């Protein structure tokens, strides 16, 4: 009979990537859309992860990463793959990040200015400025409103011409409340573009 002290089994925690995300809008499983601020030539995205049981983390082509986040450039739809290695094995998770431009449309119809935009949940301030022609004069008008969105396509319509024969000739809408900052869209009637060539507006 062989004596001795029995060995105590060592519990090795399995390697697991609990989450791997991007600072953006989740559009599908493991897919994110980011909206760069302004006219950014080289958008960047902040990648974040939560990993247990790993001693080494690699990103994509073997780049060693540390901590819980890293900032990477994106020039189009980009796949990022995170590798986690440890005594308890390995785990891999991939996400896709796509830079996009926020859609904001301004479409006047007679005296009405229609504003529509894609919203994420939040509160938005909408400022509409318009020039309309009525009673033989060009008149400027302004309207402000607040929209509380649950995250959908939002549409706002405002009557900018108090006269029955008023016609919108130009309009501008600015929406504030997006994570990337305010966005603005413009409208100029074709008739004004044609008439305005060589003829400044009154």
* Pair of tokens at residue 32: 């994110």
pLDDT digits (tens, 9 = 90+) for 140-177: 888 999 999 988 789 999 887 666 667 788 899 999 99
Q: pTM above 0.75?
A: no
Q: Which of 99, 126, 152 is the last residue of a domain?
A: 99
Q: Would 124 be classed as within a structural domain?
A: yes
DSSP helix/strand/coil, 136: coil
Min mean pLDDT across 9-13, 82-86, 128-132, 198-202 is at: 198-202
Identify whether the C-beta of residue 12 lies closer than 8 Å to the C-beta of residue 87. yes
> Are 78 and 113 found together in one domain?
no
> Are 88 and 147 found together in one domain?
no
Q: Exposure string (b/e) for 163-194, b if CB count within 10 Å is 16 or more?
A: eeebbbbbbbbbbebbeeeebebebbbeebee
How many structural domains compose the chain? Answer: 2
Q: What is the reported pLDDT for 125?
A: 94
Assign residue 140 the CATH number of its domain: 2.60.40.2150
pLDDT digits (tens, 9 = 90+) for 18-62: 999 999 888 899 999 988 876 566 789 999 999 999 999 999 878
Residue 36: domain span: 16-99
């Amino acid at each position: 009979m062989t004596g001795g002290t029995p060995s105590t089994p060592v519990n090795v925690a399995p390697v697991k990537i609990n989450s791997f995300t991007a600072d953006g809008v989740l559009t599908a499983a493991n897919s994110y859309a980011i909206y760069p601020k302004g006219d950014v030539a080289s958008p960047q995205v902040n990648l974040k992860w939560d990993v247990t049981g790993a001693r080494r983390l690699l990103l994509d082509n073997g780049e060693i990463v540390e901590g819980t986040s890293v900032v990477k450039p994106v020039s189009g739809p980009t796949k990022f793959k995170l590798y986690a290695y440890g005594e308890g094995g390995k785990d891999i998770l991939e996400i896709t990040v796509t830079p996009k431009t926020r859609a904001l449309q301004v479409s006047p119809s007679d005296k009405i200015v229609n504003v529509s935009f894609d919203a994420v949940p939040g509160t938005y301030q909408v400022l509409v400025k318009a020039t309309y022609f009525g009673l033989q004069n060009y008149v400027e008008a302004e309207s402000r409103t607040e929209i509380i969105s649950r995250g959908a396509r939002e549409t706002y319509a405002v009557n900018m011409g108090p006269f029955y024969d008023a016609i919108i000739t130009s309009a501008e809408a600015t929406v504030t409340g997006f994570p990337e900052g305010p966005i603005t869209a413009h409208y100029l009637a074709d008739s004004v573009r044609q008439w305005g060539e060589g003829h400044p507006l009154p």
